[in-house]
Structure 1
Amino acid sequence: MRPLDRLSSIKVKLGVVIVATVAGTVVVLAIGFRLGLGLEARTAVAALIALAIVQFLARGMTSPLREMAAAASAMARGDYGRRVTASSRDEVGELARAFNAMAAELADVDRMRRDLVANVSHELRTPIGALQALLENLVDGVEPVDPTALRTALVQTERLGRLVAQLLDLSRLESGALALRPAPFPVRPMLEQATRECELGERYMSQPVWLRVDVQPGDLRATGDSERLHQVISNLLENAVRHSPTDGRIWLSAHAATDGVTTIEVADEGPGIPPEEAERVFERFHRTDSARAARDGGTGLGLAIARWIVDAHGGTIAVRPREPHGCRVVVELPR
């Protein structure tokens, strides 16, 4: 029971406790005097009554602090599920609510840390295991040292390199250490360069698709860090190629919207992304069922990095359905 929770100031609560204690003491002394009790007896009874009043009224003022101390000790041991009762409306109540919010954020951070360690371990284990098995076969003479075996080793090594590079990029983006260098730049050359690089990639070589670039107007310019935005487009194209059928079509387009926004869109003819997954695909290491089923499911970091870069530019990135089937990823940048 917290009788003073309705009061919105700790000062008012302290005043109420003091007044109630003094009033109780005076009443006890007066009653004791009328009953003919001695001064020492009246003083002892008044002190006990005063302590009882303080204990009753001040309980709700100090109990959140005790709960916070216990919860902080539990959090130091790794238990982030403890919460503090925050029914008071005063400063202590505000502190309790802030403490609960902090505990929830720490719990989310700890969960993300555990997921990151588990996901990175899983992603590293696959190429390392394949590379180790191949090298053991080469050393033991089970397989001959030929260009095919060496190319397989190179592919796995490149996959490890991409994963490490993406993890470093994501770490720099989240910490704010990756500074952007915004400047006006022409959009078409950047999109065409990303397309040429995509056509030279191993995934495109094994599963060629039709790539088309359309920019309206042709001399469209945008403002931003062209190198980082090129990274965004490359990630989107890589995803589109990965999930497109052989000889499928991918459209890379850009246009100037009437509200001062430059829109860049990558559309493919793949299986698409379910509406319930449209937001989660931008989480680190999250992949849809179709992505997991792909031969090279990627690392699950490309879209997370793309969102960080677009957000840092003050823009938005979203997944949209494409009729009759496929996926559209729309990037909007303020001009």
Structure 2
Amino acid sequence: MGPRSGGGEAPAPHARRRVPERLDVRPLDRFRSFKVKLGILVGVSVTVAALLTQVSIRAGIEPLLSLPLVVIAALVSTQLLARGMTSPLRQMTAAAQAMARGDYSGPVRATSRDEVGQLAEAFSVMAAELEQTDRTRRDLVANVSHELRTPVAGLRAQLENLVDGVTEPDPAALEVALTETERLSQLVDHLLDLSRLDAGVIHLDLEEVELTPFLHEVVDAAALAAGGRDVRWIVDVDPPDLSVAADAARLHQVIHNLLENAARHSPAGGRIRISASRTGEDDGVRIDVDDEGPGIAREDRDRVFERFQRGGAADSSGGTGLGLAIARWAVGLHGGTIEVLDDPRSTGAQEGRSSLIRVVIPDHGPVA
């Protein structure tokens, strides 16, 4: 996690780390039960008091003088043992107060094996998860703000030009405004899909989908969304009457996102191929999408399916960084897989780069 804002709070975690090294003595950590520790604590206190009382009697010290000394000695021994028992609780209190300020780095030493030690371990796990959640939230807000800014700024500039008379309201100018509006609408749709993903409210409506007309329909939609980009589309279904039991709307979303991603990264005149066939085990259908773009590096193949990731490189092609994440989610709803595979036909194969993405949808059997 990057440096935190607010320089005044930075030294606090280090100050808390130095205290346990000097004063945090835990002689009772070997015992697994907190009740046993309390029993030992009481036993030690009583024993110390009894021994000191016996010594004072033999030494002939007056009871009025010896009693305060015995009480003080018993309290000191009790404090030494109790401090180590309650130290994790104090550390958790300090860490919780720091977490309220956004600092999740407060240390909690879980050295004992009793109930307090188990609580300290659970607290440390919770703190790590909260830190990850907070980091994800911050990244999400930053990325969404960035993604929204681009189409909004373009749309505002175009409308200002139209209002000021700098640009005539001809079809070309209106098309630019429409393109930016569609980008904004697409981002909103993607964010809505992600909210449904997180809420787990999506259910599949399975039906038998004939892939030849279905894929041609998706290609037509992707070509329209590509805005006349100079690419060639190839559809290959083997056998031609191949079908799969799937949710047509979600499968359309998956393939459309893959084709849109391929179109953005394809060179002028490039070829985008989508093929479908039975899997080798004949228990499902695989759909491959590949293009002639630069491809995805091997070390980035898992990361590209995460939110707001774009293959480890800057992407000025207008993508939201959400399409592949949504595609993986929709494929997962079907119980299938999506991955980037090596493509020996690719020019970047020797460099470990590939543009071949494979979707596998398992066979759910005949749909009524």
Q: TM over 0.5: same fold?
A: yes
1:236 aligns with 2:264: no
Which residue in 1 is equivalent to 2:275?
252
In 2, Cα distance between equivalents of 1:40 and 1:187: 99
Residue 266 of structure 1 deviates from its aligned partner by 2.1
8 Å contact from structure 1 (residues 194, 234) kept in 2? yes
1:272 aligns with 2:300: no
1:209 aligns with 2:232: yes
Q: Secondary structure at the match of 1:209?
A: strand
In 2, Cα distance between equivalents of 1:217 and 1:22: 89
Which residue in 2 is equivalent to 1:96?
120
In 1, Cα distance between equivalents of 2:272 and 2:253: 21
Letter in 2 for 1:329: I
Which residue in 1 is equivalent to 2:135?
111
In 2, Cα distance between equivalents of 1:60 and 1:309: 51
Structure 1 unaligned spans of 5+: none
Residue 167 of structure 1 deviates from its aligned partner by 0.9
Which residue in 2 is equivalent to 1:138?
162
TM-superposition CA deviations, 1:120-179 (whole Å, max 9, x none): 1211111111211211111111121211111111111111111111111111111223x2
Which residue in 2 is equivalent to 1:5?
29
Residue 182 of structure 1 deviates from its aligned partner by 4.5
8 Å contact from structure 2 (residues 338, 357) kept in 1? yes
Q: Secondary structure at the match of 2:296?
A: coil
TM-superposition CA deviations, 1:61-83 (whole Å, max 9, x none): 21111111111111112222223
1:174 aligns with 2:195: no
Which of the numbers 172, 176, 179 marks the counterpart of 1:152? 176
8 Å contact from structure 1 (residues 243, 291) kept in 2? no
In 2, Cα distance between equivalents of 1:303 and 1:314: 16
8 Å contact from structure 1 (residues 217, 255) kept in 2? no
TM-score of the two chains, using structure 2 as the length reference: 0.82
Residue 220 of structure 1 deviates from its aligned partner by 4.1
In 2, Cα distance between equivalents of 1:20 and 1:271: 73
Q: How many residues align?
A: 330
Letter in 2 for 1:194: V
Change (3 A) 1:273 1:30: same
Change (3 A) 1:58 1:134: same
Q: Secondary structure at the match of 1:56?
A: helix
In the TM superposition, 1:19-38 aligns within 5 A as 19-38=43-62
Residue 311 of structure 1 deviates from its aligned partner by 3.0
Q: State the identity %.
A: 50
In the TM superposition, 1:290-301 aligns within 5 A as 292-293=315-316, 296-301=317-322
Residue 264 of structure 1 deviates from its aligned partner by 3.1
Deviant stretches of 4+, over 6 Å: none
Deviates more, 1:144-153 or 1:226-235: 226-235
Change (3 A) 1:70 1:193: same
TM-score of the two chains, using structure 1 as the length reference: 0.89
Which residue in 1 is equivalent to 2:307?
284
Q: Secondary structure at the match of 1:206?
A: coil
Residue 184 of structure 1 deviates from its aligned partner by 4.7
8 Å contact from structure 1 (residues 261, 334) kept in 2? yes
Change (3 A) 1:39 1:257: farther
1:316 aligns with 2:344: no
Q: Secondary structure at the match of 2:203?
A: coil
In 1, Cα distance between equivalents of 2:177 and 2:64: 93
8 Å contact from structure 1 (residues 209, 241) kept in 2? no
Structure 2 unaligned spans of 5+: 1-24, 347-353, 364-368
Change (3 A) 1:330 1:16: farther
Q: Secondary structure at the match of 1:52?
A: helix
8 Å contact from structure 1 (residues 310, 316) kept in 2? yes
In 1, Cα distance between equivalents of 2:294 and 2:27: 60
Which of the numbers 323, 328, 331 marks the counterpart of 2:356? 328
Q: Secondary structure at the match of 1:19?
A: helix
Letter in 2 for 1:300: G
TM-superposition CA deviations, 1:88-134 (whole Å, max 9, x none): 22111111111111111111122122212211121111111121121
